[in-house]
Structure 1
């Protein structure tokens, strides 16, 4: 499969009412033609609930990379370190994203960390403030990006954590790690909120009209399998659909699908028509549906002659 061109599309569909509405007028001619040439790939498809910690495209990407794809246990932080040439040890790592929790009477909403306006200097200053508190619980923090740090510690070895995408702009309480297993994290959340509530770091931000940082989110926890897997094929994963879906901007989502159909999907179709092996995985809130250029059975060809598989029917199943 090493010569296969693999396209993995997150947020290709959604159960959200706004998405269902714009799908009704969505025309994706290249995707229709591509699906007519491909066969379902059951081994690479899966289904779960919308409440799963790992969204379908993360599970699909993990399978493609040879990583464990168990819900909430995909070791993205450890894989990131490996990809950055920082080592492939058997330590447990996690991502820690500084963020703002907006508390109301019946919701605790995680606002988009990208809207915090954190630059490297501010992120490193915040890291220096909170690191000692984490260290007391055996967690070592390392700077990675302004809105994402790396953390190492035994706590992350078997901890199921929800993807940041699952909880973004939603009530965090539905996505918190297991209270018994993550008692330390739950206490740290409380401590960080008390520490940062009156800290000069946030006072200075507020004076400049910037959002305060009052919490963090842990995700991508786990250790890499040993030996570290070598992917046979790395999928291309365009993110415009996902970005629009996270904002629930369904008009932008439909526009992104039109552009995607005319770009990467059309390119994949041309490769398939030229006889090259291709793979396509469409992901939504619940399901990942995979297709590849394998010989189709007589029954499949007979069925497609009368009722070809169409994108409009498929997106509603995601």
Structure 2
């Protein structure tokens, strides 16, 4: 088990104009001091596109845990079941998130599942309604939490899917799995929309002023490697920047950054200054940059004094 403390910060920067403006007036003194002490960790620097199915921080987290980190095929569901101490049976698993697709003239937007106000009883009732339809295609559904179920089936063995974060509050059509590879899944989407459109489950929700559930999203697909990855210390992954960035609330995002700088980043800086091994990963929507503590040459120390690496200089690389 690694004794290196790893802080992985998703949505550290964005190409959004609002994010760029927020950064201009944002002071992150602890982060700048930390970056001046660390050196790039090329093995943990990841390059992708903002259209990649897996976000850079997901690929970085998978790599840190010893999981496959191929785009769109990180077996998060199988890993989750394994971490719960439940057998995966060598099968391929997936997460299935019940959700609402909002259809407008030119968009089909996946709204935040947390806004559905699903509790365990409602989620289990919905699961019982849709499970027989999935079972006809060899997919077994298992309850996990109100807004997320587990699914097992051969369909997920080689299926490339976009993570929920990638499609959240966006047009789902750009993030659907390949139609040839996922013909069964595309059909299930159509069947579930027809089933739920007039179902008493949604009628009852509408009568109580609750959002209807009319679709689902599959993500985190694949089998767990054999043997399963050895236990390791998972990176700390704060979510406050992500939550604000997905809502494009850049004022809240800047406030969250200041809190991170004063909290987890400052704590990591103190560890680095004490000589403890540390690792920092900064992730945007395209790329992730890795840094770690290591003995530095005289030239590197001098460069750190006169040309310290600052976050403001790195943001466009994310």
Instruction: Name the TM tier (shorter chain).
Output: over 0.9
Runs of 4+ in 1 over 4 A off after TM superposition: none
1:71-150 mapped onto 2 (5 Å cutoff): 71-150=71-150
1:216 is paired with a residue whose SS is strand
Match of 2:6 in 1: 6
1:251 aligns with 2:251: yes
- 1:175 matched to 2:175? The reply is yes
The aligned residue for residue 34 of structure 1 is 34
What are the within-5 Å matches in structure 2 for residues 9-28 of structure 1? 9-28=9-28
Aligned to 1:226: 226
Partner of 1:61: 61
Asked if structure 2 preserves the Cα contact closer than 8 Å seen for 1:7 and 1:279, the reply is: yes
User: Which residue of structure 2 lines up, in the alignment, with residue 47 of structure 1?
Assistant: 47
Matches within 5 A, 1:163-242: 163-242=163-242
Distance 2:231 2:268 in 1: 20
Verify the 8 A CA contact 1:202 1:213 in the aligned structure 2. yes
Cα distance in 2, alignment partners of residues 251 and 156 from structure 1: 39
**Aligned with 2:221: secondary structure?**
strand
Distance 1:182 1:84 in 2: 28
Deviations 1:95-149, CA, capped at 9 Å, x for gaps: 0000000011211000000000100011011001101100000000010000000
CA offsets per residue over residues 159-215 of structure 1, 9 Å max, x none?
A: 001000000000000000010010000000000001100111100000000011000
Give the CA deviation at 1:229. 0.5
Q: Which residue is 1:158 aligned to?
A: 158
SS of aligned partner of 2:6: strand
C-alpha displacement of 1:315: 2.2
CA distance in 2, matches of 1:299, 1:184: 58
TM-score normalised by the chain length of structure 1: 0.98
Gaps of 5+ in 2: none
Shift of 1:298: 4.4
Partner of 1:274: 274
Q: Structure 1 residue 265 and structure 2 residue 268: aligned?
A: no
Structure-2 change in CA distance of 1:36 and 1:124 (3 Å) = same
Cα distance between partner residues in 2 of 1:215 and 1:92: 22
| Aligned CA-pair RMSD | 1.1
**Separation of aligned partners in 2, 1:300 and 1:183:** 54
Give the Cα–Cα distance (whole angstroms) in 2 for the partners of residues 301 and 316 of structure 1: 24
Shift of 1:303: 3.3
Q: 3-state DSSP class of the match of 1:276?
A: coil
Give the Å deviation of 1:294: 1.0
Shift of 1:234: 1.5
Instruction: Confirm or deny: 8 A CA contact 1:76 1:94 kept in the other structure.
Output: yes
Secondary structure at the residue paired with 1:149?
strand
Tell me how far 1:2 sits from its aligned partner: 1.3
List gaps (5 residues or longer) in structure 1. none
**Counterpart secondary structure, 1:46:** coil
**Are 1:56 and 1:285, in contact at CA under 8 Å, matched by a contact in 2?**
yes
